Structure 1
Amino acid sequence: MLYLEYAQTQRLQTAVVTGREPESDFEVFVAKRLRQHGYEVVPQVGVSGYFIDLAVLTPEQPNTYLLGIECDDATYHSAKAARDRDRLRQQVLEQLGWHLYRIWSTDWFTNPNAETEKLITYLQRLR
């Protein structure tokens, strides 16, 4: 059944809605911007033992996810172990059919309008 879903949509539904709240105000700001552009966003979606900060539902197929968004703050830049761990994590999630998009808090808070526009453009390309 999962294979047929993947063959049809190129997306594999392997996610669990956890009901957890966003972990930071940064995630809240990003989700709010996406909702203002008509996207439905779910925070802290569980996938294969990992959590995706924000998952954007596919508008035409509300039971599938179009994109997973990772929101990284300034402390992430200095944590080599975190970067290495996230590379492996990203590989696993992409093998499960997820498209991932990383937003850096420093870029977002420097120019939220430009970063929002980049994200919306990327979402439109995926659709």
Structure 2
Amino acid sequence: MLILLLAATARDAAAQSGIRDYQNHCAECHGLGGRGDGPTCLTIPMNPPPNDLTQMAKNNGGKFPFDEVVESVDGRKNIPSHARLQMPFWGTTLQKPGKEFTPESDAEVKKRIESMARYVESIQQK
């Protein structure tokens, strides 16, 4: 029973971390609800505009593309297009100062990005 409680507590903490990181790093462009209507869009023209993150599963045959979202948020795997340059490379931006790209920092960044992706998964429209 204790193991189940600890696992649930860890999941809750990760979920809260994902929500907090999304609000702090993504909502400015994608909006609090994930519809691509963040306040930055009102002041800075973006071409292309931020994606409506609530439609990702629907646009992918009903399956949320978790791995692709993680890679997109991280930003380091693919060669960037001009459109990509509007979105920060969170895989580098979230590194621990003074410990950038160490196994410890990379593991923490991966965990944070996966938590953000889980949050985005949770806001999918049916």
TM-score by length of 2: 0.28
Q: Taking CA–CA contacts closer than 8 Å with sequence separation of 6 or more, which of the two structures ends up with the larger relative contact order?
A: 2
- Which has more strand, going by share of residues? 1
